[in-house]
Chains A and B, each alone.
Chain A
């Protein structure tokens, strides 16, 4: 699947067409060659009278009301018509003509639709009926910031259009592509479109590109906007629609050279907002209290509480459930059901939030209520109907990157005003609601920033810079981003890529850099993977890379921590966590586990979902490795260098994430070059006090931790990354002398070897 995408580029297209000879007249790329075959169908087709970019809502309505689906020539099902009726009630439908006019007139359009307006599902269909991409042998793309949204919206729109998902309507996300040669409308993550742009700088497969949820300002959307601004100048036939929620729409308009703007009201109800008279001393406790108070005094309706992280949410959920039970017993309150919601929760648990609220315990009794305690994923990405009350303490976990110490951390930070409005809006989905803000109005005005900072200002830019270089954008100084990052952050990214040898000293993309950009991975992981054949362990490094790209495979429920740790100990490797992960994967792929993977994972406190997706990621990466003709090799398992080779190969990517034990102080480490004092994360399996370790993650909490570590030797670093570990560049001290000793040892060995010869 991955191959197919890059094959679609330029010259290889002809080859592909031959291969797909199955039913060539269905191939939109070949549509022009089969006019005769189609003429019969065309005369009866609803599209016969359509003139591209001159259609009206009335014309489209007629086509939609016909008996035959104009896209695939099949008769419409009865389900189609019932959905169609509901679709016509959506707010966007009222303005279909207005939309078409603006769309036809201008190359770029900013479309503003509040949640519930139907923009994500309807606008792309409006476009299909006017843009008629099949006549141009092109496609319409609609990007989404999240994989789940891309999949679920594509599924929904396929139903609405009465086609099979993957045929006329498909989706494409990282590690999964569900499109075919018939596909006219493609939902995809913004990251995927950016990847496609890397091999096709003009995005020539598309006639219209829609960037949905642009207000979320993900890194990929921001880069795409800058890129599309350049592409529209080169391709006058390409149309762009920027879709956003109301917030800050003028900013998009200004950015896109005063493009016209169309706003469609959402279907929302008024929300009454309450502030606290005094600041809260403890927002978690205040949130719990507020929920119980709502349950005791307010009318029917479900509650949505925003908290910051898994632990906090689980803790609050437990407390509310306990107190709720007591209220039922003592005050005859209605039953209360509490559901936690956060990203790492398994899907079937996430699904439970859509369960209806519990009924009253007896007829005529007080109605039941459900409480959802969520991270900010319920702020935009998930829509839960029936929410009438929102409790907002004003915090969320936000990523921030410090280029000086090269640490990306998740910090509990005040939300923005825009975010607070969005949260309040969640209470007005079904009927008028209430939002309880656990801070003063004063704090809202003074403490909260207007807009959440876009991701591009809060992240490590090394993969973005690599992508931009691959996109052929060299002038990073004047590249027209909506919010350009700080110079220091960009400098750091350029330097990291230079040390990784993805960029040469002149800042030009190297062969390795070009190769690394083909992998949908962080450059550190990509470089490690590409160099792994040199260390005779590409099979193993591929597994480790996959395991590091998925959520934690170890499950550690609060009630069974000890048992879970015992199980983990079965897999642990004395030299560190990456090797432990590898042991887990090998065991998982073993016959015993594969006989009943679900039971096996459950017994060993492992996440089946994570392991399966690691398996999937590994398969996808393997295809890229094979396409790039990288050797898949292993050191024989009984060779004593088996694990050493893997540890060396890890150094080839992670040599900038190394820490050395401090001479004083128990198990305190100092990170190399950045000189941060860190501790080994309690989850590590590292059995002995290693002098030098390599880490996957720097976690900033109450203490600085490094997580997922493996023991290494300074000699390897000197050998693998001699420029980064130039002894003379280090200040006098412990680290320098240790490196110096290692260098001396290396020199001695070398000398002995040459003498022996």
Chain B
């Protein structure tokens, strides 16, 4: 079904793709999101661990503060623990699997020490985990006050679900079809380059020759320019939204 959806959108601009790392911002899965204090803890454990690894390699003793801090996140965490510091005691449950990506949560310490990269990163940041997250998308552009939307919503269609209409298993298109106006008699495939891509508009014509204008023409040009400027300003600043924002009555 996913393939079908992708195929349908083709080239319309409504569906934009978010890079993975940005999408995770919208990911709000309660199971994967640590609760308030644990975020801070996770952060600390990342930051402090760096220190720890930096410290351990030259084989100097760990600062006492770290040792005090280390156990606390592990206790408060109900969500998968995100710290992987090479602690002297092995964690109580080494065979824990992440609910989302089904990978073991903490690998054995010997491996971690060998791969310094994975030590620094909590499990949630790993690529495998990110790929498995269900990503939520930006909400649909549809105006929520529309009567038609209200009707469809009462029958269970969610505008933000990025799904079409239809019986289960036979989902329809999500965006209306778009036509392209053709006003010439160019044949099929003319205007395409060798790869079948549409050739962009022809390059702009060479700049026009410099013209000499008399005073009257200059004045006229200036007037037109001013008019255009005013029109643009009106377009930008006289809109209801801006006026409302500026506190003027609309």
Binding site for B on A (CB under 8 A): 255, 276, 279-286, 393-395, 398, 400-404, 409, 411-414, 438-440, 442-443, 446-448, 453, 457-458, 474-495, 498, 505, 507, 700-702, 731-732
| Residues of chain B lying within 8 A (CB to CB) of residue A412 | 182
Interface residues of B in 147-175 (CB under 8 A from A): 147-152, 154-157, 159, 164-168, 170-175
Number of residues on chain B facing chain A (CB within 8 A): 46
What residue in chain B is nearest A508 (Cβ atoms)? B151
| Complex CA distance for A284 and B185, rounded to whole angstroms | 7
**B120 CB to nearest chain A CB (Å):** 45
| Complex CA distance for A403 and B146, rounded to whole angstroms | 13
| Residues of chain B lying within 8 A (CB to CB) of residue A401 | 176
Taking a contact as CB atoms under 8 Å apart, the answer to whether A439 and B187 are in contact is yes
Taking a contact as CB atoms under 8 Å apart, the answer to whether A495 and B146 are in contact is yes
Binding site for A on B (CB under 8 A): 142, 146-152, 154-157, 159, 164-168, 170-183, 185-192, 196, 238-240, 243, 250
**B78 CB to nearest chain A CB (Å):** 39
Contacts between the two chains (Cβ within 8 Å), count:
170
Taking a contact as CB atoms under 8 Å apart, the answer to whether A484 and B166 are in contact is yes
| Complex CA distance for A748 and B185, rounded to whole angstroms | 56
**B10 CB to nearest chain A CB (Å):** 10
Taking a contact as CB atoms under 8 Å apart, the answer to whether A486 and B164 are in contact is yes
| Complex CA distance for A494 and B154, rounded to whole angstroms | 13
| Complex CA distance for A413 and B156, rounded to whole angstroms | 35
What residue in chain A is nearest B173 (Cβ atoms)? A486
| Residues of chain B lying within 8 A (CB to CB) of residue A495 | 146-148
| Complex CA distance for A646 and B190, rounded to whole angstroms | 50
Taking a contact as CB atoms under 8 Å apart, the answer to whether B196 and A442 are in contact is yes
Taking a contact as CB atoms under 8 Å apart, the answer to whether A485 and B173 are in contact is yes
Most chain B beta carbons < 10 A, residue from A280, A395, A474, A487? A487
| Complex CA distance for A481 and B239, rounded to whole angstroms | 42
Taking a contact as CB atoms under 8 Å apart, the answer to whether B165 and A701 are in contact is no
Q: Provided the pairs A400-B177, A485-B173, A486-B175 are in contact, do residues A439 and B152 lie with their beta carbons within 8 angstroms?
A: no
Taking a contact as CB atoms under 8 Å apart, the answer to whether A413 and B175 are in contact is no
| Residues of chain B lying within 8 A (CB to CB) of residue A492 | 148
| Residues of chain B lying within 8 A (CB to CB) of residue A487 | 142, 152, 157, 159, 164-165, 174
Taking a contact as CB atoms under 8 Å apart, the answer to whether A279 and B148 are in contact is no
A281 touches which of B170, B176, B186, B239 (Cβ 8 Å): B186
Taking a contact as CB atoms under 8 Å apart, the answer to whether A440 and B177 are in contact is no
Subset of 20 A-B contacts with CB under 8 Å:
A279-B190, A283-B185, A394-B188, A398-B179, A400-B177, A411-B179, A413-B179, A413-B182, A440-B189, A447-B192, A475-B155, A478-B166, A479-B165, A479-B167, A484-B172, A485-B173, A486-B173, A488-B176, A731-B240, A732-B239
| Complex CA distance for A492 and B151, rounded to whole angstroms | 11
Q: Provided the pairs A393-B188, A438-B187 are in contact, do residues A478 and B155 lie with their beta carbons within 8 angstroms?
A: yes
| Complex CA distance for A491 and B183, rounded to whole angstroms | 31
Q: Provided the pairs A400-B179, A453-B177, A700-B181 are in contact, do residues A491 and B189 lie with their beta carbons within 8 angstroms?
A: no
Q: Provided the pairs A411-B179, A478-B156 are in contact, do residues A283 and B186 lie with their beta carbons within 8 angstroms?
A: yes
Taking a contact as CB atoms under 8 Å apart, the answer to whether A498 and B155 are in contact is no
Q: Provided the pairs A484-B165, A484-B170, A488-B176 are in contact, do residues A702 and B183 lie with their beta carbons within 8 angstroms?
A: yes
What residue in chain A is nearest B143 (Cβ atoms)? A491
B187 touches which of A281, A400, A453, A732 (Cβ 8 Å): A281
| Complex CA distance for A495 and B157, rounded to whole angstroms | 16
Taking a contact as CB atoms under 8 Å apart, the answer to whether B156 and A477 are in contact is yes
